[in-house]
Structure 1
Amino acid sequence: MSTEEPIICNSCLADSGDTTDTQPQITINKVPNGIQCKICTLPSTLYHFRNPHSRTIQKTTICYKCAKQRNACQCCVLDMTWHVSLTVRDKLVSYLQNQDGQQLQGSMMTPEATNVMMKRYLALQKGKLGGAQITSDSKALDTLLSQGLEQSIATLEKDIQSSNKIKTGLDKDFEIDIKPVLAHLPLTRTLQGTHYMSFFLYNIDSSIPEWKIKDSVTSVVGTNTWCDRDSNSIIVNHRANAGGIKFANQSLADKFVRVLTTTPGNNYIIQETGLMRGVLMVDRFKIFVVPWESGFSTGSFGATKEQSLKLARSLRKLIVSESQVMPTVTSDVNNNDDTDRKRKTTKKINKKKKKDNKKGTKRVTSLQL
C-alpha cells in the first residue's frame, strides 16, 4: 500500500506564513481511486480538504506520479517552485538556458500526449519531464538563475506579448475532454425491470441541498435507513447538476424503483428509445433517475471544475433532446382531470339553471304587459 504524501503547494493549503499555535490545522481526506487523473487518465487517489481561510473545498486533480514528473501541485497544476503554469515554466527554463531566446531545447519542454495510451505510457516513466529537471533541483536552479535572470525574463515577456499563445494554466492548454466521464454514465439504462442498488441523478438544481434529496428518497421508500452513513451513499456535484445514490440493501432499492415506476407523474418513457426515466420531485424540481450498474465515486462527475461544468452543459442538451420525444404523461393526466372537472362543473351549472327557471321564473302574458 502506498504511503506517499500528496504534492500540494502552499497556496492551495492557504499557508499564510503564520507559525503560531493559532494557525488552523488542515485535515486532508483520502479517497482511493477517487478521481481520474486529468493528465494520464488513470484512476488515482483523491485528496480533498477545506481551505481554513474560506469555505471552499480543495481537491487534487492529477495523480502523484504526474505531479512528481512535472514538479507540479496536484490541486492547481502549477509549478511548485515558481507557481506558474507548466508551459510558462518550460519556456522560461529554455530562455534561461538559451540567452538569445531563438533556439529552444526540446528536452526542456514537457511532452503532453493527446493519445490516451501515450498519456499512460508517459505516466509510467521515471524521472523528471521538461523544465521539472531544473525547478525540482535546488542546485541546478541556483546555477540557472545566476545566468542573467532579469534579461531572460524580459525577453520571454516580449515573446509572450507578441505571440499571445502561452496560457496561464494547464486547463487552458488542453481541450476539456469529458468523453471518459460520459462513457461511464448509465444514460442508456432504463428503470423498468432493473435490480441495481445504485442510481444516477441528473437535472439537480444548484439550489437543492444534499439533505433535501435524502429526505425525498426517504419519503419514497418510507425509511431513513436506506443509506449507510459510513460510506458515500449519496454524492451530489452541483457544478455538474448531477449525483448518485446507493441503497443499503436490494429490497430498499427495489421498493424505490417500484414506487417510481407505478406512481403517475414519477416517471416517463422516451418514445424514440423506449427507455424509462424516474422522476424524483424535490422543491418542485424534477430530478431524473437512472439505474447505475457500475456504481459511482466523487470522480464520476468530472475530475475538475471545468469537466463538471461541461458535463452539466451536456446533460442539459440531453434533457432538451429527451423532452422533444418524451410523451407528456403528467400533463395528459392533468389535462384529462381538468377536462373531467370542467364537464362535471358545466353539468351542475346547467342543472341549476334549469331548476331556477322552473321555480323562480314566471311567464309574462300579453295582458300583464
Structure 2
Amino acid sequence: MEVSVCSKCLGSEEALTKYVSGSQCRICTSVFDVYAVKQRSSLVKTLVCYRCSQQRNICQCCMLDLSWGVPTDLRDRILSLIHDDPSLRTQEARNDMMRRFLSLKDVKLGGAQITSQADSLQELEPLLQINKSLQRDLYVSSHYLICNLDKSVASWKIQSAVDETVGIEGSIESMNVNYDARVACITLKDGVSTKFVEKIEKCKSKGKETIRGKLTIDRFSTAVASLEEPVNLDGFDDKLAVFLQRNVLLEARDDRETPVRRTQNKPGKPNKVTKKSKRARDLQL
C-alpha cells in the first residue's frame, strides 16, 4: 500500500479504506486509488496521488509539507530566500499533458529537495518559529528578536541599551546572540516588556497592532520584532540575515512620501486658434 499521510490527518486510526481508481489527482489529474480514514463524524480522503506527494514531500490529504507542516508556497519562499536559489520554488506545469508527464519523473520538486531530508526540521525549525511570529503584536509577548545587529556590538552593549530604554537595570532574563546572522533573541523579565515597547520607536502599525519597533544600540539602528517563544539561534549563518533583511527590515523602514518630480517652468505656447474655437468664440460674443 503506497500512501503518504501526515499524523494529523491520520489521527489515531491505522486502518484505511481503499477506493480503487476513486478520483483524479488534483495536481497531475491522473486517476489514482483513494484512501480514506474516518475521524469523528467526517471522512478524510487523499486528494493527490502518491507520486505527486513524494515529488513535493506533501501529505496526500491536507497537501501540507510532511516535515514542516506548512503550505508548499510558504516553504518554497522561505528556502529560496535563505539559499538565494529561485529553483527551490516548485514550478508547476500549465497544461494537463505536461502535468502527467512531470508526474512520471522520479524527482524532488522545489523545497522538497531539502525538507525531504531527515535533519531538515531540526536545522530550520527556529526559522519557522521566527516566520510564524513576524506578524505578532509587540505588546503580547516578552520575547523579542533584534535584527540588523552590527557584528562589532558586544552582548553587554545590548543589555545596556535595553536597560537604558526601560530604566531598569538587569531587565533581560536571557539572551542569545548570533553575530553571523546579525540577530539576537532576548527574553525580558516580568513587567518589563510593556515599558520596553512603550519606550522604543514604533515603525509600522497594522490596525491597532504595533508589529515593528526600532532600537538604537551603540549608534547602530536595529529592528525589533516579537516572538511567540524563545528561539535558539545557534548554527545559523548569514542566510538568516538575508531572510530577515527582506521580511523584517524592509517593513520596519519609515514610510516616506515619494518625491514629486518637479518640471521646469517652461513658457506656455499660445493657444492655437482653430476654426472650431474661432467659431465658438464668435458665438459667445
Q: Provide the TM-score with structure 2 as the length reference.
A: 0.45
Structure number with bigger Rg: 1
> Larger helix proportion, structure 1 or 2?
1
> Larger strand proportion, structure 1 or 2?
2
